[in-house]
Structure 1
Amino acid sequence: MRSVFFRAVRAGALALAPVFLGSVAVAGPGLGPQPAIAMYGAPALPPDFDHLPYANPEAPKGGRIRMGESGSFDSLNPWILQGRPAAGIASYVTESLMARSIDEPFTLYGLLAESIETDAERSWVEFTLRPEARFSDGQPVTVEDVIWSYETLGRDGHPRYQNAWRKVARIEQTGPRSLKITFTEPDRELALLMGMRPVLQKAQWAGHEFATETRLVPVGSGPYKVGRVEMGRFISLTRDPAWWGAAVNFNKGLHNLDELRWDYFGDGGVVFEAFKGGEIDLFRETNAAKWARDYGFPAVREGRITLSEIPHQRPSGITGLVMNTRKPVFADWRVREAMILAFNFEFINKTLNGGVEPRITSYFANSALAMRPGPAEGRVAELLAPFAAALPPGTLEGYALPASDGSELNRANARKAMKLLREAGWTVDDAGVLRDGAGAPFRFEIVLQQGAAETQSIVDIYVEALRRLGMEPQVTTIDDAQYQARTNAYDFDMAWYTRALSLSPGNEQMLYWGARGVSEPGSRNWMGMKSPAAEAMVQAMLTATDAEEFTADVRALDRVLTAGRYVIPTWYPAVSRLAHNRALHFPARLPLYGDWPGFQPDVWWYDEAEQ
Structure 2
Amino acid sequence: MRKQFLRALGRAAFIIGVGAAPALAEPQHGIAMYGEPALPPDFVALPYVNPDAPKGGRIVVGEVGSFDSLNPHILKGVVPWQLRFLGYESLMGRSYDEPFTLYGLLAESIEVADDRSWVEFTLREEARFSDGSEVTIEDVMWSYETLGTIGHPRYLGTWAQVEEMEQTGPRSVRFTFSTDNRELALLIGMRPILKRAQWEQKEFTESGLDTIPIGTAPYVVSDFEAGRYVEMTRNPDYWGKDLPFMQGQANLDTIRMEFFADAQVLFEAFKAGAITSIRETNAEKWATQYDFPAVQRGEIELSEIPHQRPTGMTGFVMNTRRPAFSDWRVRSAMIHAFNFEYINDALTGGRQPRIRSYFSNSLLAMEDGPASEEVAALLQPHSDSLVPDALEPYALPEGDGSASNRANLRQAQALMREAGYSVEAGRMTTPDGRPFGFEILLPSSTPEADVGAIIDLYVPALERMGIDVTVSRVDKAQYAERTDSFDFDMTFYTRGLSLSPGNEQKLYWGSAAASSQGSLNWMGVQSPAIDAMIDEILTSQSRDDFVTATKALDRALTTGRYVIPIYQFLESRIAHDAALHYPDTLPIYGDFINFHPDVWWYEAE
| TM-score when normalising by structure 1 | 0.94
Letter in 1 for 2:121: F
What residue is the counterpart of 1:89 in the other structure? 83
In the other structure, the counterpart of 2:515 is: 519
Q: After superposition, what is the alpha-carbon deviation per residue over 1:148-202, rounded to whole angstroms, capped at 9, x for unaligned?
A: 0000000001111001111000111000010000000100000000110000000
- Cα deviation for residue 62 of structure 1 reads 0.5
Question: Which of 237, 262, 265 is 1:242 aligned to?
Answer: 237
For residues 242 and 459 of structure 1, what CA distance do their matches in structure 2 show?
Answer: 49
1:352 Cα shift?
A: 1.0
1:420 aligned to which of 406, 415, 420: 415
Residue 375 of structure 1 is aligned with which of 370, 373, 389?
370
Given candidates 117, 120, 140, the residue that maps to 1:126 is: 120
Give the AA of the match of 2:74. I
Q: How does 1:500-511 map to 2 (within 5 A)?
A: 500-511=496-507
TM-score, scaled to structure 2: 0.95
| Counterpart Cα distance in 2 of 1:211 and 1:121 | 36
- Aligned position for 1:22: none
8 Å contact kept, 1:393–1:563? no
- Report the residue type matching 2:498 in the other structure: S
Aligned residue in 1 for 2:50: 56
Q: 1:180 to 1:31 in 2, by over 3 A?
A: closer
Q: How much has 1:220 moved relative to structure 2?
A: 1.2
Letter aligned with residue 527 of structure 2: S
What does residue 290 of structure 1 align with?
285
Aligned to 2:332, which of 323, 337, 344? 337
Contact 1:29 1:118 in 2 (8 A): no
C-alpha distance in structure 1 between counterparts of 2:75 and 2:413, whole Å? 41
CA contact (8 A) 2:25 2:112 kept: no
Gap regions ≥5 residues in structure 1: 1-27
Residues 571-590 of structure 1 mapped to structure 2, 5 A cutoff: 571-590=567-586
For residues 193-592 of structure 1, the aligned pairs below 5 Å read: 193-214=187-208, 215-430=210-425, 432-452=426-446, 453-592=449-588
Give the Cα–Cα distance (whole angstroms) in 2 for the partners of residues 387 and 399 of structure 1: 18
Secondary structure of the residue aligned to 1:194 is helix
- Is the 2:90–2:191 Cα contact (8 Å) retained in structure 1? yes
Deviation per CA, 1:374-402: give whole Å up to 9, x if none: 22223211111111133102211232111
What is the SS of the residue equivalent to 2:205?
A: coil
> 1:29 Cα shift?
8.7
Shift in Å, 1:84: 0.5
> Structure 2 CA distance, aligned partners of 1:195 and 1:152?
15
Deviation at 1:514, TM superposition (A): 1.1
- Match of 1:211, SS state, is helix
Shift of 1:89: 2.4
Please state how far the C-alpha of 1:31 moved relative to its aligned partner: 5.5
Cα deviation per residue 1:349-383 (whole Å; 9 max; x = unaligned)? 11111112121111000000001122222321111
The answer to whether the 8 Å contact 2:90/2:106 transfers is yes
CA offsets, 1:92-139, max 9 Å, x none? 221100000111100001000000011111000000011111111111
Contact 2:385-2:528 within 8 A present in 1 as well:
no
Moved beyond 4 Å, runs of 4+: 28-31
Provide the C-alpha distance between the structure 2 equivalents of 1:546 and 1:29, rounded to a whole number of angstroms. 26
Does residue 1:32 correspond to 2:37, yes or no? no
In structure 2, what residue type is equivalent to 1:219?
Answer: I
RMSD of the alignment, in Å? 1.2
Deviation at 1:567, TM superposition (A): 0.2
Corresponding position of 1:113: 107
Paired position in structure 2 for 1:73 = 67
Partner residue in 2 for 1:47: 41
Q: Return the alpha-carbon distance in structure 2 between the equivalents of residues 148 and 30 of structure 1.
A: 24
What amino acid maps onto 2:332 in structure 1? E
**What letter matches 2:218 in structure 1?**
P
Unaligned runs of at least 5 residues, structure 2: 1-21
Matched residues, number: 581
Residue 30 (structure 1) shift: 7.5
% identity of equivalent residues: 58
CA distance in 1, matches of 2:53, 2:384: 58
Give 2:177's match in structure 1, choosing from 153, 176, 183. 183
8 Å CA contact retained: 2:24, 2:111:
no
Quote the Cα distance in structure 1 between the aligned partners of 2:183 and 2:568: 27
The whole-number CA distance in structure 2 between the counterparts of 1:377 and 1:294 is 45
- 3-state SS in 2 of match to 1:169: strand
Tell me by how many angstroms 1:324 deviates. Answer: 0.5
Question: Is the contact between residue 308 and residue 577 of structure 1 (CA under 8 Å) also seen in structure 2?
Answer: yes
Q: Deviations over 1:484-528 (max 9, x none)?
A: 110000000000000000000000000000112222100111011
Cα displacement (A) at 1:297: 0.8
